[in-house]
Structure 1
Amino acid sequence: MKWTKTKRIFAYTTYALITMIVICVNFNTNKMHITESAKNAFINAINKEKDLYISQINVQYHQKYSPNNIGGEEKKNWSDQAYFIAKDSVRNHLDSLFKYEMHKINKYTNTAIGYTYNGKRYNSRDEKFIRKATLVQEYKFRINYNKKSDITLQAYIYTPTYALLLNNIYTYILLAVMLIPITCYIIYRRNKKENLSKGINSEDGNLIKQRKYRSTKWIEIHEGYYWDNNHNTLRYNTTQVILRGNNIKIFRKFISNEDFFLSHTDISKLYEKVESVEAKDRAYHLIKSLKECIGILGINVVSIRGKGYKLVFNSVSSNYNNN
């Protein structure tokens, strides 16, 4: 099957799209993993805070003397949190421990602690951070049935998008899978153009092949003369001429013939489907315009009586006479 340009573009686009979809799926999976892992990290931070900042505690609790049915363990946890709030009102200690645990999972993840107590809300970070962060866990501690005295502890995390992508080995693998074939194709095309350019400029005696229009910028059409078919530019030494309008068609036709010769009919048919009785007149005016344009480069357009015209370059112009 021949791979046309359209087919190649479609194949590479589909290939890149599938790769990007896989990257997005992997991105969401990684994000979910971090969020789920954050729950355990928060529990570990709470326990470590107790181990580090509560050295000794003596508790005597009898449920029968309690004014409510809330369990002793829950009341103890409430007391721990009330103690930490009294000692560290913005919960920097807990936030630092939580961040330490999270950095074991993803070093780019930032954390924050929020809590409510006595009907008021507090955060370890500013509101701007809280708005963009994700709430991953929330615990409520009670000592009685008065909701105002409840302590609600919240854990927030924020991982930048670039970190979710760059801190995942699969992202690099997928990008490599996408970019390596494209890079190989680009290198292949470049080498092909370079080899083609060398082949065109080699002295193999086949002048017609040398003058075929390729994607190479400069093609040597005669010794010292170079033609850029993409930009319709003719160069000799440091002088360049840009051809326009009818001159482009005629000049291309001239250099496509091995002997640089065009008959009156050849020139006329460039612009008319059938030969006209005014072919010579038409050819004369068209050639005159081209001659004026390329004369600065030492190229002459010589009239061959009764036949047509021939391009004569400066290196061989002495062999021809204008008629």
Structure 2
Amino acid sequence: MDPHLLRTYVTVARLASFSEAARELGYTQSAVSQHIAALEQDLGAALLTRRPVAPTPAGTRLLEHASPLLLRLDAARAEVIRMAAAPEQGLTLAVAPAALTRRTAEALPPTGVTLSVLPRDEIPAAVATGAVDLGLVDGLAAPNDPLRLPDVAPLTARGVGQEPVAVLLPADHPLARRSGLRLDDLVDARWLDAPATGVPLAQLRAAGGTSGFRPALRYDGTDLRTLTTLAAAGHGLTLLPRSVAVGVPGTVAVPLTAPRVVHRTELLHAGALRGPAAALAARLDVTRS
């Protein structure tokens, strides 16, 4: 299967338009049509309906395979280029909003760092494809257990640290005076759905073994201050690492006592560490997960 044809197909399916796909890819519309026809001939199946442009059942199934296949090709290309290139003097680092602790920030080189805050789900792909040298991701885990990360490409995950988690409540919330909270107590509470910033509700459901934790408001940004402001205003609860939750004006951070989970942070990289990336890992004294 020709990856060039596959990329064209994915673009057409995403944009639902041959002409828009041609514009994005820099091809003529005729070339895009020829790519799709060639791929359909190769697979012996119709992949798209034309009016409207939409995947057929076979095309939908191909899309499920296409993204990880293309990502792995991009990751392989990036790793080979990295191996052949001279070590860079700078360092590019992608971090999830709650993953950058003070300890990690203090370990960064004084100059030459480019830091990007990304939704945690985007960071593994950014590392795999060489968009950044390193990634810092976070999430809920049992103490000393590794995070469950998407299998986008061969990546190495190294534990950076873990800390207790706390439920962020408005100061006047009925549960704010508690010394600790169980996740079972909060199944029917109003929650902030902030998958890129707070602990995703899917992780809460998995930890609690329930389908509860209904969202009251969804926040799709990556700014922690916005998330904590929403919590302080009573729009919903959120679960955060204790170091982030404590001291937010207008809120109370109540420790989560059960189940026994922690906020874990891991450093991601592809291939062997070199240059400033290796130096940062050494300063953090991380160990392979």
TM above 0.5, yes or no, is: no
Larger Rg: 1
Higher strand share: 2
TM-score (norm 1): 0.21
TM-score (norm 2): 0.23
Q: Which has the higher contact order (CA 8 A, sep 6+)?
A: 2
